[in-house]
Structure 1
Amino acid sequence: MTVTGADIARVFRAEHGRAVSVLIRALGDIDLAEDAVQDAFTVAVERWPRDGMPPSPAGWIITTARRRAIDRLRRESTREARQAEAVALQAADPAVGPDEEGPVKDERLRLVFTCCHPALSREAQVALTLRLLGGLTTAEIAHAFLVPESTMAQRIVRAKSKIRTAGIPYRVPRDEDLPARLSSVLSVLYLVFTEGHTASAGADLDRPDLAAEAIRLARQLVELMPDEPEALGLLALMLLTEARRPARTDEAGDLVLLADQDRSRWDADLVAEGHGLVRKCLRRNAPGPYQLQAAINAVHTEAADAAATDWSQVVALYDHLLQLTPTDVVRLNRAVAVAELDGPQVALALLDDLDLAAYAPFHVVRAELLDRLGRRAESAAAWERAADLSDNATQSRHLHARAAAVAGDGPAST
């Protein structure tokens, strides 16, 4: 069977995080581990199309990366310490590493908690983990943070430098360390899932493997910290969002908006599990941002169709969410619900003070509201602006089509 570039890309997306985690644990050096794994995938690109896919692609990558790291340490062994590191690494089993006592057993979840050390800023914690765990490019992470790529590159470099100079160890966090790092860990997993749900760039709408990994880690986190309602809330949010994946594209691969989706195609098991977790969160009576977002998604997935959605409840939940997370993105999403209750003109006025000019969904919402008001020239321009801001080919194609339909005096909505 011929191994294609797409096959290797799938292995990269699925195994990059684990390979980097194992190598960091063995090496204690983030840059060296990341470079070694990258080198291993470069070798895979050269050899696998010729020799075929190995029986265990993940094991092959880890073993090859380990050998590359040994070679590099030996080349740089101008001091005895570096040569000793190479000898120790050669003797070690990178798939296992030294035994450590501690609550976090999963290698990739261990990496998340390590990167969420309190010595790093929240932005650095999330950015570094997205880079190491998900294998996201600097451009993809910058897109998630709505910042320039150069800014994100500097942030990642500073985070790695901080870990190195401060001597932050790659180790299992103690039980008492977990609560202080939980908020950052939740942010990381949420952004990993978000990238999996809608890829910031590329030909495909989504990255199912990345979303699945985020869900797997969220399940591990709930098992690790079962009394944390926000961990439950995040898992519920992921499951209810993931449940809609089968209906997000049509047979041609084109994007289908929530209001137009065939809800019979939603994953009923994930919906039921997500609703169960939301009810469990409600019984805790300690609402947080992820629980409220999960509750909003529960309202959407309870409705038989878009018209049956309880928009007043959605607005009320967004009002509560704004008290905890007063961001322009939350205000934008609330405006969508307000439009269903009070009309597009009221909702459009809510967008005036939002600082989201570089955020494609802002222009999508504005375009839809303008279209409903019959202001089609302005709507078409907003659709085009949204398309220009999207590097996701499926999403951009949909947005250009909407712009063309409005500009051509086609139907106001699809």
Structure 2
Amino acid sequence: MILLLGMSFEVHASTSSTVSDTLPSRLLFYFENNSSLLLRDYYTNQDNLNKLDVMLADADFVSGVDSIVISGGASLSGSFQVNSRLSSERAVALRTDIRWKHPGVYNNRISILPAVFDWNILIDLIENDPLVPNRDEVLSILNSSAGDQMKVTLIKQLGGGSTDTYLNKNYAKYMRTATSVFFAHTEKPVEIQEPEIVVVQPEPVPAVVEEIVAAPEEVIAAPEKLPETTPVTLSPLPKTSRPLFALKTNLLFDVASALNLEVEVPIGQRWSVAAEWIFPWWLYEKKQYALEILNGNIEGRYWWGERSRRDQLTGWFTGVYAGGGYYDVEWKTKGYQGEFFSAGITGGFAHKIGRNLRMEYSLGIGYLTNKYREYTPQQCGVDGEWHLIKQGNGTSNWIGPTRAKVSLVWMINSGNNKK
């Protein structure tokens, strides 16, 4: 008889007293969001891995285990296909760790259970939370025989999405943490002792009497007591960070001494809004050289690709921008003043270079109109001061590349990860 015991793992086979006295009722292995990397120093993973090593190093325990089944877990958020792959990758990560540290113990007897969600965790949480919208309906769905994907679809339809929103906000983090280890034990059959039959020799009597021996009563073994189950106890998860906005500076402008600053605010997983301000205001050598620019732009962006496995504000994007400003540029004997306006589309790519740092590359193409005034500086008049002598004016228009950026990005988050 084969028994699958435990949520993460529960041991009810006979083991040595040294190990069995210290075994926890279950172990949970934690993973970061959208990650299948088994981090030893993440939350309680190191302690639980140490406990698992003690069990698998005990010869008495190993002799009572027939096989190991590992089941990964994922949260409700994101697509079903991504969660299915992610839960499998988490289970494989734990199996690899066991095989690497305990070669030859189980060899090919460690298998992966094809599961995406650990519904038992979610059921326990909902049963203890009276604030869950449509609580009875969602419990009925979870306890039904429907498949994982059908359960997710039905839950998303409850209450116009209010139930799904509540569960993702409060409980999705618990579902992604639990990667479960099941130990299959071969149950030892209960030995039933045959009753001993005692034949009592009768004393001799004068008359011949037929000997009657009563049949022994049948011995019925007492039923085996079922193992007690331990309720699921969930520890608080580490606090996760959420990006509030990003601060940027265009390094190409910075090299040209054109100070600039941009703020980008994410809106959900796919949209963001950015506002940029360029403000160099330099005068050199008694005003013979000038670089004075005031320019503001606003841009809306759409981020492409699968977002559930990406950090916000990373990957490929396209956008629409518009802006304008004023400038005064002078190079000793000639200068230009004017106002300009531009609008167009942008495209680019951003990637991480650190925990809160990104690099972003983008190019804009659109329309630029410029109303300018040409002048020459001259030292004249009674006061001998420099004056700007207007030489002409005009308007120019341009269709083509209008902006280029290589930006350093600093993410400002709502909180930091705590272990």
TM-score for the superposition, normalised by structure 1: 0.21
TM-score for the superposition, normalised by structure 2: 0.21
Greater fraction of residues in helix: 1
